[in-house]
Amino acid sequence: MTTMRRLSFLFVPLALASATAGAQSQPSQQQQPISALKGHNSNAPIDVAADRIEVQDRADRAIFAGNVHVKQDELTLDTARLTVAYTSGGGVQIQRLDASGGVTVHSPSETARGSFGIYDLDRKLITLVGDVVLQREGSQINGQRLVIDLDSGRAVIEGGPAGVGQSGGRVTGHFTVPQKKGG
């Protein structure tokens, strides 16, 4: 599947520890966490498995459905449905990926979850939306929207509007603190 080679999207878990360390060292400046994807090998082969694939050439898209599992290098994505939008003039060029039905992204050190995931290849942005949870080494951040810029590694988490079962429009977090040895 050479068209799947351009799926260099495997999404983005955050370096939560860098966010807390940066905030402690410079309280007057708001530090943004750095995405673990900043150094990700986006040229690595991509493996996709799903229960079903439907190619809609006239609409320039392919839809993977049912237990979708994507792997690239050390990153994986699991979702119920993945829509790949592409252009086909002079070869297939993937422009955008949309994951829905619950999205879980794993890297060796982090896990990110959301209701929907969007990867805009032209702008090199990954977005997770809806009940976003980021976890790393016992620490966790909750919000409604996560945007990661793959060029800069900048990651921004937003709380979103207040509503039923939401965080009241705020980002919340629970962070582990390194334990000091000795007395």
Tens-place pLDDT, residues 80-113 = 999 988 888 787 777 788 999 999 988 777 888 9
What is the distance between the alpha carbons of residues 4 and 111, in angstroms, rounded to a whole number?
23
Residue written as token pair 């039905």:
101
All domains of the chain in start order, with CATH = 2-174 (2.60.450.10)
The H or E element that residue 101 is part of is strand 93-106
* CA torsion through residues 38, 41, 42, 47, sign: negative
Phi, psi angles (nearest 5°) of residue 58: -65, -30
- pLDDT per position as a tens digit, 67-80: 999 887 777 889 99
The amino acid at residue 127 is T
Residue written as token pair 């252009």:
87
Which of 49-53, 96-100, 160-164 comes out lowest in average pLDDT? 160-164
